[in-house]
């Protein structure tokens, strides 16, 4: 694989990672890189990116409905009310990744975010979206960074506000998934689709 856009089953060019499974084709074409707004929606993406740390994204994607059931559809106010019984329930839930540190971080982050004003998480995250004109479209996968100055600054801002389990790489994955940056390859059919 050269890392360049490749034709999918319909002949249209896509990012190579977006063709490895049918789940990825749908996610790549319909979701990844599209703007996401709203505190609860961004909280979900933030949590899922944290759970993905050290794992393949497909593992998270295929368990997303299980995560949604387990974490009350990622409603910040609901997860902020979780207690020890919920923690034990989550640690036993085979529909999610049962990582104690990630579960604890999700619960702690919800408690912290419940203290924020409505829309504050959305505003903070989107404040770190770089100017798209300052970023050339990547031609190959090798042109796509794992960390940027903006993702480093976003991770620091979130940590300063009390959020856990988010570093520059996780912050950049969030930025890619939520449309703050468009890292679809230059020849990809989804480039600029947001």
Q: Is 128 a catalytic residue?
A: no
Q: Which one from 27, 32, 128, 172 is the annotated catalytic residue? A: 27
Q: Which one from 17, 49, 128, 150 is the annotated catalytic residue? A: 49
Q: Which two tokens stand for residue 9?
A: 């089953």
CA atoms of 160 and 111, how far apart (whole Å): 15
- Alpha helix segments (H runs only) across 19-147: 22-30, 39-52, 57-61, 64-70, 76-80, 84-91, 100-113, 120-126
Q: Which one from 31, 57, 116, 126 is the annotated catalytic residue? A: 57
Q: Is 126 a catalytic residue?
A: no
Q: Is 4 a catalytic residue?
A: no
CA atoms of 174 and 192, how far apart (whole Å): 18
Q: Which two tokens stand for residue 88?
A: 């034990």
Q: List, in order, residues 6 or more apart from 168 with CB less than 8 Å away.
A: 147, 148, 151, 152, 154, 155
- Alpha helix segments (H runs only) across 72-148: 76-80, 84-91, 100-113, 120-126
Using the structure block, give the residue that is written with the tokens 């979206």.
129
The SS3 of residue 75 is: coil
**Which residues participate in catalysis according to the annotation?**
27, 49, 57
């Amino acid at each position: 694989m050269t890392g360049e856009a490749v034709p999918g089953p319909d002949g249209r060019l896509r990012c190579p990672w977006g063709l490895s499974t049918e789940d990825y084709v749908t996610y790549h074409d319909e979701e990844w890189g599209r703007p996401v707004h709203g505190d609860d929606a961004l909280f979900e993406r933030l949590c899922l990116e944290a759970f993905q740390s050290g794992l393949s994204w497909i593992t998270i994607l295929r368990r997303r409905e299980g995560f949604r059931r387990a974490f009350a559809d990622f409603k910040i106010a609901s997860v902020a009310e979780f207690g020890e019984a919920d923690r034990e329930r989550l640690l036993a839930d085979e529909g999610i990744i049962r990582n104690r540190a990630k579960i604890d971080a999700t619960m702690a982050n919800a408690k912290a975010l419940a203290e924020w004003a409505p829309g504050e998480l959305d505003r903070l995250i989107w404040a770190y979206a770089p100017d798209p004109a300052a970023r050339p479209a990547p031609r190959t996968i090798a042109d796509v960074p794992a960390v940027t100055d903006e993702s480093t600054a976003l991770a620091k801002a979130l940590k300063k506000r009390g959020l856990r389990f988010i570093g520059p790489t996780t912050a950049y994955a969030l930025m890619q998934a939520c449309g703050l940056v468009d890292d679809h390859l230059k020849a990809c059919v989804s480039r600029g689709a947001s």
